[in-house]
Chains A and B, each alone.
Chain A
């Protein structure tokens, strides 16, 4: 949405929007439902009235009927299939990607779960006549963070000893705040009432200063802040100094996701597991803008920069699931740049590591088909945040209908989108920067993935793009 259009609609429609708010009140009863019913530790939705599982619908039959009717031979990705299962007409899939399609029969209290047990959120949309819509959701998104609900009034649950040290300082300052606020607020009200203006009563002009009093109220805060400073500094050193025996996990942040690398070479996007009661040192860097690794449960945070390594450590403590936020503004999907931290017993962790290391291999140890690898790569490596598969224009050109298309570059040359072109675009993206439909260059936006992508994944992407050949482009 262009900003101007937004300004216009806001100015014209403020009244309408505020009227719509009342309608909104009814919808999210789901949020207030007790979280206790959710399986401990695992990510689960906050107990809505009904959970509709996508497999209820015969998705294949719906697609077949659609293709027969429209005379096309369109294929759908796994995610799109889950939406079809939720009641989106196949013809509306493209609109669903933008989050604007109505599902006629959906009850606002129904939460839809895709086949991986992940939630598809149902919310209202003002500009689409307030019909319920499916929002495009990151598949790694956690419906809720248990540590937030299991915490105190002020803080989320503290998951490590260092976090508890931080909380102790927090509570200390909070008590000082309560006391000072009570004194200042109380005296303010007292003076305003007791010395309110009354006819014939004059102010006492003799009180203009009182040196002992002024010195007292300068010194007491000075002592208090000195204590705070020292206590805070000691704990801060603790937060910054990893024990020498910590387990190292590398994290690479990109727009808009996280990639975690283990010392044995295993990589895992958007989710990482660590063994319980182990000090973990994160060594982080970014491929593009600034990001920030924020792990509230461990009270730790550090910016992630493109030109250097930054480090953060925490002691994993008891098993649990925690949310990692990006807290340094990084553009469009900043608010969706979550990652999941799972702390689990060592044997579970090792099993997970083995399974994750072999994600291109199926249960029988066979290499998965290239197309499937391509689709997984597309979802895991962050291609999806810039390259749409529904034909819409994003930060980068869409993959839909790309295969075999003539591409014009910003240096005036052009090429046909074939294997070699795609290969080179991934390995050396700036050697051939494409123009968009308006003839404007996409610029040097693309992350250089080549050091991270093995050959199978690049070939998989090629297959995946091939499979999208028939999808109409809208750029």
Chain B
């Protein structure tokens, strides 16, 4: 196995580039706005969520600058409340939840299946416009009275005590919810019905397993968010008295409703990230993924278990002792599949051929940050320690480690990984790596101190704090600025590649999944003939070719049976 590998001149090289690809195959605004092509819809999503991320990032920067010192720096408390709310709402609803499935998934999922499109292309476009309308409602919120309820819209504050634009914002989230449902529905049917010949469930790439689990959660959980927000709107406008205690309702009931969606939503955010990381780690180790079945099954079990643990958000919301006991116990069961995934990735590195390219740096960053995020989650699942840590910066740090360190890093890794496929351009590896390392350092500096101040008692959602937490806040703000520099460099790297980047080969990384078999960028119809699927992690199937500067199918390779 460790013999010197001399590239053999392969007799027939697959086509690397096409003159007509999905990007230039038709022109004009309407050819994009009314497109049914999953790749174009994916790119439009990518543009939209990137802008949302930028907006959410500005809010984050404002929060951290304000908290640099005790006392109010450049906003008053009411403005701060709006800024932290909008940061959370924009990041969660507009960026993280649609991030990987809608943007990357839309481009990659049908390609990975060797399909011409998703099962319902019109529904796909419809979900994009629902996303856009949801975003428009957020912009409306921003320019009417803003929003200061926190992204959770807890009653009765949201129904009776705020004069901000709760109705616009919840209507926006309602639409975003249905956008998410339709994307999930589409992916579920696509994975079921559009698989190419030879792709049995156990030859499904792990990215698709992750998307499948995500789709299940989107279908089952998101409708409950819809009805919750609808009831919230009814409560605010008519006062039907289900959630507002002044009118005889129960605010804890609202929290049950909300978290029945929003806990699965946490896994809607992280499962796709795990799915991306599984692909990247296998590709850049040039090695078969370790424990394929365990990773696949853990995705589905996470998806199902995620519905039974929502009560751990309410341990101190005066949930009954019986319910806390049940929810705490089930919460621990979901820790096991997550741990299994991390161990499997680690074992994939073992005796691999590890290349520290930019996507891999993000994937390794993900592994570390997700490990910290997951381990610190234990404190929050244990009833006794959760009581003191709940609603403090410890929780803030924990979920940022999982959502930003986890989902954002995986998203960025996936973005770099599939960038050559999406755009047909290679970015500068050097500046990509520098950006990845900078972001990693900045992130840790920004959020690790928050664990310490949180466990010492600093509550979250505070516009102001006392001097005893100043040091941690200062470190955190400094880290945020470094993270910001890393992300700015990343944006520069990717945008520059669009104009000056080298042409990308069909398979620059040596991955064995089907999407790398079509030219970069793919043509409008993806594949002329449905490709024959084999083991998606049989890395020896492809080998390096000096002439095309990428990987081509290996000559005379016999798939190994595992």
Physical contact A–B (CB less than 8 Å): yes
Residues A235 and B245 in contact in the complex (CB < 8 Å), given A181-B375, A201-B353, A218-B336? no
Give the number of A-B contacts (CB < 8 Å). 361
A66 at the interface (CB under 8 A from B): no
Q: For the complex formed, measure the closest distance between the CB of A109 and the CB atoms of chain B, giving whole angstroms.
A: 13
Question: Taking the complex as formed, is B36 at the interface, i.e. its CB lies under 8 A from any CB of chain A?
Answer: no
A89 CB to closest chain B CB, in angstroms? Answer: 21
Docked CA distance A126–B317 (Å): 37
B201 proximity list for chain A (CB < 8 A): none
Which residues B318-353 have CB closer than 8 A to chain A?
318, 321, 324-325, 328-329, 332, 335-336, 339-340, 342-344, 346-347, 349-353
Q: What is the 8 Å Cβ interface bit string for chain B, positions 520-562, against chain A (1 contact, 0 not)?
A: 0000000000000000011110000000000000000000101
- We find that the number of chain A residues with CB closer than 8 angstroms to chain B is 125
Q: In the complex the two chains form, what is the Cα distance from A188 to B372 in whole Å?
A: 14
Known contacts: A195-B349, A305-B251. The answer to whether A185 contacts B371 by CB under 8 A is yes
**Nearest-CB distance from B238 to chain A (Å)?**
15
Q: 7 more A-B contacts (CB under 8 A) besides A3-B146, A334-B462?
A: A135-B71, A143-B466, A154-B456, A169-B384, A176-B378, A191-B350, A208-B288
Min Cβ gap A41→B in Å is: 16
Q: Does B150 contact A (CB under 8 A)?
A: yes
What is the interface size of chain B, counting residues whose CB is below 8 A from a CB of the partner?
124
- Check if B388 sits within 8 Å of A299, measured CB to CB: yes
CA distance A424 to B89 in the complex (A): 41
Q: Which residues of B contact A27 (CB under 8 A)?
A: 69
Docked-complex contact B387 and A3, CB < 8 angstroms: no
Where the two chains meet, the residues of A that have a C-beta atom closer than 8 Å to any C-beta of B are: 1-4, 6-7, 9-11, 14, 17-18, 21, 24, 27-28, 30-31, 46, 98-99, 121, 123-127, 135, 141-145, 147-149, 151, 153-156, 165-166, 169-170, 173, 176-177, 180-181, 184-185, 187-188, 191-192, 195-210, 213-214, 217-218, 221-222, 225-226, 228-229, 231-240, 255, 288-290, 292, 294, 296, 299-303, 305-308, 310, 323, 325-336, 443-445
Task: Say yes or no: A127 contacts B74, CB within 8 Å.
Answer: yes
Q: Are B156 and A231 in contact (CB under 8 A)?
A: no
Smallest beta-carbon distance A367→chain B, Å: 36
Interface residues of B in 15-60 (CB under 8 A from A): 58
Interchain CA distance A143-B464 in the complex, whole Å? 12
- Within the assembled complex, what's the spacing in Å between the Cα atoms of A217 and B344? 10
Q: Are A144 and B379 in contact (CB under 8 A)?
A: no
Q: Which of A151, A233, A301 is most buried by chain B, counting CB atoms within 10 A of its CB?
A: A301
Is A142 a contact of B466 with CB atoms below 8 Å?
yes
Q: How far is the CB of A300 from chain B (nearest CB, A)?
A: 6
Nearest neighbor of B461 in chain A, beta-carbon distance: A329
Distance, CA A294 to CA B459, complexed state (A): 9
The answer for the CA separation of A198 and B286 in the assembled complex, in Å, is 12
Q: Is A191 touching B354 in the complex (CB atoms < 8 A)?
A: yes
Q: A200-B3, A294-B459, A336-B464 are in contact. Are A123 and B382 (CB under 8 A)?
A: no
B140 within 8 A of A: no
A-side contacts of B294, CB under 8 Å: 209, 214
Is the pair B467, A28 in contact by a Cβ cutoff of 8 Å?
Answer: yes
Query: Which of B74, B293, B464 lies in contact with A209, CB distance below 8 A?
Result: B293
CA distance A214 to B65 in the complex (A): 46
**A290 touching B251 by the CB < 8 A rule?**
yes
A304–B161 Cα distance when bound, in Å, is 16
Known: A188-B349, A222-B336. A289 touches B142 (CB 8 A): no
**A154 B71 Cβ-Cβ under 8 A:** no
- Docked complex Cα distance between A24 and B58 (Å): 21
Q: Given the known A-B contacts A46-B467, A235-B383, are A294 and B391 also in contact in the complex, defined by CB atoms under 8 Å?
A: yes
B384 to chain A, nearest CB (A): 4
- Of A187, A201, A229, chain B has the most CB atoms within 10 Å of the CB of A229
